[in-house]
Structure 1
């Protein structure tokens, strides 16, 4: 089981929501943690330290961490130009593409940030091609093939189309053909599950909301995703659970469950 925590924006976090998320992790016991970017609000050392301490406190055995655009310094221009990932690296290690195989799930993580872009994300042709090769080389006993990045591959609202990662069309075509099942993203703080059209194979775009920040959208509060994979009667099965923080009960509660049909 994978826990996707996106856009916590440490520096703007709510302590009570952080505590509730720790309780959820303890109750559900996910094996793999995905931090899908915007760990901090302004890429300051204290914010990175808080993000790292929080990730450690979840007690999850395996972890993949991806940077977001907020994790590059905005106002410190020399640092942004010459060492944009220095503070990120001190807290979480090198910002690079990653691969994890845990409990029948192959997770491929991609760095979609670019130092020369303030907000927009980008996938290079090399990243898209290398990811397709990793998808094709997935071990035979893998149940679920997942690609993750900070910026969305697809969105549900026309007003958010400008936030799609550059290179999204080629990525969708190449990764669908190579066998991807899910593509996970964040950035826009709007959770959603969407089946991508115009292809023979089924490919799902799964977006996460902001996990613990007060920077919520008017119609979307704090939330995280739990993703489970398995087999039922020999067929692959994936479920995406959206867990929302409910202030009245001071806890994360299951708010939506999507059972996703997959190609065999």
Structure 2
């Protein structure tokens, strides 16, 4: 059984210490095979905030980390830094790779940098990024769970959040579904939910799910959703995966499971489909 923990929108600089300690305890107890950090790691891309985020990661057991920047991880007020070296702080703390990947026997996870220095909060995915991810998905092993990670959402559930949709989300979800993706993980709007993208009338070739995370640590909770994280479980020979939402419970000062979604995965004729889709 593989376990992936997705934390998002930590916004170091607005973190709450009891929540941080509870998250550290949860990760240590659950011992995931992969920790996904899906952007907005800091509040204002300051060196001290990146240092605090790095110190938190270093306080955990040696767990593989797949991280990518969010729009808050690019300087906002320092215009020169934003345009000339927008990822300098991120790279100093988390390395040069802005679109890392992780692969194991049971899992393939691909990060897509959807931030743009010329945009304030909006995210964007290019044709080149869409194709790069599709080509990599085509090389996945038959029993691997295939995850694509963005920062901005590929699906929203409330009309007022449509402005936050990832630019290019429709061609991305169509191509990635065709290429074999199972789930697209995101954050940005601090609202946790699961969407069946294949049921939304987009004409997708296969079942594919959007899995959104809330804010893991920040005091900037929204829409009545407390601090939360996602735990994704998958067994190699099981054609399902389970997405568990865990919320911070102020009474016990712990993260506790509150909802569970069982997602059916689609493997029908996929290798032949991918091989001919280019």
Q: Normalising TM by the smaller chain, what interval?
A: over 0.9
Confirm or deny: 8 A CA contact 1:95 1:111 kept in the other structure: no
Helix, strand or coil: the match of 1:80? helix
Distance in 2, Cα, partners of 1:218 & 1:190:
7
Q: 2:224 aligns with which of 207, 216, 219?
A: 219
Distance in 2, Cα, partners of 1:78 & 1:68:
19
Match of 2:167 in 1: 166
Confirm or deny: 8 A CA contact 2:15 2:219 kept in the other structure: yes
Matched ranges for 1:93-242 at <5 A: 93-142=95-144, 144-196=145-197, 197-198=200-201, 199-231=204-236, 234-242=237-245
1:27-64 per-position Cα deviation (integer Å, ceiling 9, x unaligned):
11101011100000000000000011111222242111
Confirm or deny: 8 A CA contact 1:88 1:95 kept in the other structure: no
Match of 1:53 in 2: 55
Q: How many residues align?
A: 261
CA apart distance, 1:103:
4.7
Change in CA separation of 1:177 and 1:201 when aligned onto 2, cut-off 3 Å: same
1:106-140 per-position Cα deviation (integer Å, ceiling 9, x unaligned):
00101000010010000010000111111111123
CA apart distance, 1:141:
4.0
Distance in 2, Cα, partners of 1:141 & 1:247:
39
Match of 1:90 in 2: 92
Distance in 2, Cα, partners of 1:154 & 1:86:
30
Confirm or deny: 8 A CA contact 1:182 1:205 kept in the other structure: yes
Q: 1:20 aligns with which of 19, 22, 29?
A: 22
Confirm or deny: 8 A CA contact 2:174 2:205 kept in the other structure: no
Helix, strand or coil: the match of 2:239? strand
Confirm or deny: 8 A CA contact 2:151 2:186 kept in the other structure: yes
CA apart distance, 1:85:
0.7
**CA-based RMSD:** 1.1
Distance in 1, Cα, partners of 2:92 & 2:12:
16
Distance in 1, Cα, partners of 2:123 & 2:62:
28
1:58-104 per-position Cα deviation (integer Å, ceiling 9, x unaligned):
22421111000000000111111111111111111125212111350
Structure 1: which 5+ residue stretches go unaligned?
A: none
Structure 2: which 5+ residue stretches go unaligned?
A: 268-278
